[in-house]
Structure formats: C-alpha cells, structure tokens
A and B are shown apart, each in its own frame.
Chain A
C-alpha cells in the first residue's frame, strides 16, 4: 500500500490534524494508534475519502482521495456496525451489490453468502441487525465492506463498542482475512491485536504523527508521547 500526505490540515471547531506530511509504501496492514482526540479517527476518515480535509493533498495507492470514484474502491467499517437496521444481514449486502455495483440478484446473493459464511455468519443471514449480537453485527458490517471487493479496508475502532469476548471474536475474524490479499488501515486500542496484525504502526499525538515504524516501536518507544501512551494502555 502507498500513502502520501502533503501538508494535511483539518479542523472542525478546533484544529484536529496539523501539517501532516508523510509517505509510506509497501506495507499491507497499517494500524493508527493514539489517545482519544489525537486525530486518529479523523485521519482514517480522510484516508478513506469519507471526509474532505480542510487543506493539503492526500493520495492512497496513487488515487486522489477527493475523487468521488475513489470511495467506491474502499471498504469502511464503523465503530458501531452501522448496518441498515431495517434489512437483514444478507439484504444489507445484496442491496449494496445490486444497486451500486450492478450485480444481478443471484450474483449478489452468492457473493453476500460467501462473505457472511467467511465471517461465520452462515446461519444468521436472514436476521435483522437488532436480532444478532453486537459482535455478529460488526462481523456482518465487515462482510458488507469486503463484498464490494475493495482495494483497501478501513476499520475505525471496530471493537470499541464490544465486550472482551465479542472483541476477541471480531478481531479473530479480521485476522483470518489477511489471506485475502486486501490491504488494511485500522484504528484500534487493542495493543495485542495491533502487534499481531499490523506490519506498520502510526502513533498519533495531538494532531501530529508522534512516531511511526514497525510494531516493534511499541516495545521500544523513542518519544515521550509514545512512552506515556504505552505506559497507560494494557
């Protein structure tokens, strides 16, 4: 995966990201970590094209993220599953594939079943999101993100709304997806998972990139910010 940030700034009411200039190439799963309010989720949304930065340029795999066509090449998993609540897990996927990707009914159904089964939801496909557990719904959301065949999947703290058992379930499913050959960018607070899954870590600190490198930087932090962060997270 290739990520290039050039003078990236973003602000809501306050400054969230400050003059980020950064380039990265060759990694397959990148984890963004940091305390709440450090700008990591905002950075993820900008990388996925969900949000437009206030200024600066952002390129992912040589695509300009401000190009609307780019969005169709990414998958995004939200903190809370964000499935459409009136549709079953299966329909959540088939609707997307039929209406926005031009699949026939049968293709969409086969594709949806394939991904739902891959995420161990084969027996839940006809249930509404409110009738499955939070972990199952989140895995349904991951299946939905995968089903459109994205180049890159962005995951925004996919387990922050789940208890430890469901967290384990969801993270295990994500690990199983590594074999699919997709690229991942994720925000997570679960350090054991980050160490295990990511091949590159970006530590955000107060709107800037505090430190970055392979997961081994977590064991040997060089900056005060990361040292402080690692001392506080389990």
Chain B
C-alpha cells in the first residue's frame, strides 16, 4: 500500500493558493471555450446601450434582497419566540408552518402569494406580493438558525451565570447575545445568499430586477451569450464575496 501523505502537505498556505489559482483558471478557461464556440462573435459593446437598465436591475436585486433579509430575520425571530412559547398551539403552529414551507418550491410560493393569497387580501400588486412570498419562504430557515444558536448555550453556562450573580440584563448584554450573534452570522449570511438567488424568480411577476432587465435586453438585441454571461457574473459578484466574508467571520469570530 502506498504511504499516506502527511496532512500538512495538503494544507500549506502556499500550495493551497496555487491550487485555487489553477481551479479558478480552469473555470475561466471553460467560460472562454464556451464563448469561442458560439456562432456569433462575442461583442460586449452590444450591451453598452442597456447599461443603465442593467445597473438599475442590479440595484433592485440588492434592494429586494436586503429588505427580504431584514423582513425574514424579524419574522423568523418572532416565529422563534412562538416556537419557544409555553402555549402549545403556538409551538404546533410554527411546526406546521415550517413543514408546509419546507415542502413548497420557492417558485410555487411566490405564485401562490401573488395570484391567490394577495388577491384574497385585496392586493393586486403582484411584485409586492412576490416579495412577501420570498420573505415568508425564508422565515422558517431563519427561525431554525435562531433555535440552534440559542440552544448552543449550554445549561452549565446558565448555572455559572447564576452562581456569579449576573442580573438578567447583564446575562443578555454580556454573555448570551454576544455568543448568539457570532453563532448566527454564518448561517444568516448563507440565507442571504439563498434570498439573492431566489429573488431572480421575481422576474416572473414583472418585477424589474437583474434577471428581468437582462432578459428584456436579450429579447431586444438577441445578445443571449453576452447578456446571460454578464447576468451570471453579476450574481456571482454578490454571492461569492458574501460567502468569503462569511467564512472569514466564522474563522475570526466563530466559537
């Protein structure tokens, strides 16, 4: 049997940079190959007249994502409080709600919200209802990260707080919240990424976010390759730095 290489060999920072450089180059090369294989020459200038619309779409994607993040985090916390309630109905309510959402595709949720639930409440603004659909859809995921973050503070820590005589305010201010925030950040950022990707579906309700604006352009100038590659790149420009920041936060502050 061949001797196993020691673990240091694979985790040296210098070598790892080279490996990542090579891996990224592979994907860039693949993209170049794909572009070169197209029947029409690649022409980025064809996008230029649409750049303001695309920038607006990019901005709306970010805006809708940030508002959805805030909305679903707040609603998620509210549902966490319900799930931790002494009232059995509230706990059952959050369980059933979670099951329903986990079993529903995001696209279906958005459509139901815009075409079924919205009109029942007198709202015909489909874009806004789609927006609400996105928030509702992410909520149980947020509830879950609150649950696991708060559960991760063990009973013995509470005993220690008791023993030293911390007041309830001091417990939250100095011990519980600082830990919960650190545990919460990485999964929260992952959910943010989920929201950004999910927001592309809002184009179906004629909400003029990034996907919508670029599709509109390609329908006019037939520059599908340039348009969709740019769209892809723009999404990655948000989500990859986000995931890198998440990893950094976890390394720096993780418990």
B-binding residues in A (CB < 8 A): 48-50, 68, 71-72, 74, 76, 78, 80, 82, 84-86, 95-96, 99-100, 130, 148
* B159 within 8 Å of A (CB atoms): yes
* B119 within 8 Å of A (CB atoms): no
Q: A72-B165, A85-B255 are in contact. Are A80 and B175 (CB under 8 A)?
A: no
Q: A50-B163, A72-B165, A99-B174 are in contact. Are A82 and B157 (CB under 8 A)?
A: yes
Q: A100-B165, A130-B255 are in contact. Are A82 and B160 (CB under 8 A)?
A: yes
Partner of A86, one of B160, B162, B164, B179: B179
For A49, A72, A74, A99, the residue with the greatest tally of chain B CB atoms inside 10 Å of its CB is A99
For A49, A85, A96, A100, the residue with the greatest tally of chain B CB atoms inside 10 Å of its CB is A85
Q: How many A-B residue pairs have CB under 8 A?
A: 47
A-binding residues in B (CB < 8 A): 154, 156-157, 159-160, 162-166, 170, 174-175, 178-179, 182, 255
In the assembled complex, the CB of A83 is this many whole angstroms from the nearest CB of chain B, namely: 8
Closest to A50 in B: B159
- Tell me if B's interface is mostly helix, strand, loop or mixed: helix
When distances are taken between beta carbons in the complex, the residues of chain A under 8 Å from B175 are 84, 86, 95
Partner of A100, one of B166, B179, B182: B166
Q: Does B160 lie within 8 Å of A148, measured CB to CB?
A: no
In the assembled complex, the CB of A130 is this many whole angstroms from the nearest CB of chain B, namely: 7
Q: Does B170 lie within 8 Å of A99, measured CB to CB?
A: yes
Q: Does B174 lie within 8 Å of A78, measured CB to CB?
A: no
Closest to A97 in B: B164
Q: Does B255 lie within 8 Å of A148, measured CB to CB?
A: no
Q: A50-B163, A71-B165, A100-B165 are in contact. Are A85 and B179 (CB under 8 A)?
A: yes
In the assembled complex, the CB of A129 is this many whole angstroms from the nearest CB of chain B, namely: 9
Q: Does A50 lie within 8 Å of B162, measured CB to CB?
A: yes
24 A-B residue pairings within 8 Å (CB atoms): A48-B163, A71-B162, A71-B163, A72-B164, A78-B156, A80-B156, A82-B154, A82-B159, A82-B160, A84-B157, A84-B160, A84-B175, A85-B179, A85-B255, A86-B179, A86-B182, A86-B255, A96-B164, A99-B174, A100-B164, A100-B165, A100-B166, A100-B170, A130-B255
